[in-house]
Structure 1
């Protein structure tokens, strides 16, 4: 599944346009590899690292959603591995 579509479907971003803009910044990674295109594929088991709302979020893909459903359905598609504010631990 395209990464921009995945981020929209799991409700981390409000639109695919926002997802594409975030990915075009070049600071997102899939399994440690920098995302080159907004259409880069994400698979079950992939780890996605992305800057979002002033934090670095790390998520693991558990399922590929078929639609942008309700929040509980979206949360079941990924596992939050970590959130970092960018300043490290105190």
Structure 2
């Protein structure tokens, strides 16, 4: 029998699993994300936090600035430490280039203290 589609396989509520796997700080935040319709289970959009997940299911949802894609590897029995939580899933999120939050381009943005002092000195000296 296929363990992924076995009807006797262990199941858990999706909001509880997201909380166990430490994707959300509280279970209510996980439930809000699900009920808002931002989560997909095996490609299908779901909106009920009572939806069950089993091992082998693929979840995709937005988290922060990226869209996470994870495969459920374990159900879990508690919200344990991070290494225990990371064993519950396999991260399939495509790797993205890291863009700095506030890039400094020449002539754009606020100058830092050192640059501001240099600008002030150049203005005091005047044209030569």
> How many Å separate the matches in 2 of 1:84 and 1:28?
20
> Which residue of 8, 22, 35 corresponds with 1:11?
22
RMSD of aligned Cα (Å):
1.3
Query: After TM superposition, what 4+ stretches of structure 1 lie above 2 angstroms from structure 2?
Result: none
Structure whose residues are more often strand by fraction: 1
Unmatched tracts of structure 2, length 5 or more: 1-11, 97-128
Residues 40 and 61 in structure 2, CA contact (< 8 A), matched pair in contact too? yes
Whichever of the two has the greater Rg, that structure is 2
Unmatched tracts of structure 1, length 5 or more: 86-90
Matched residue pairs, number? 85
> Counterpart of 1:77?
88
* Larger RCO (CA within 8 A; separation ≥ 6): 1
Deviation of 1:83 after TM superposition, in Å, equals 4.2
TM-score when normalising by structure 2: 0.63
TM-score when normalising by structure 1: 0.89
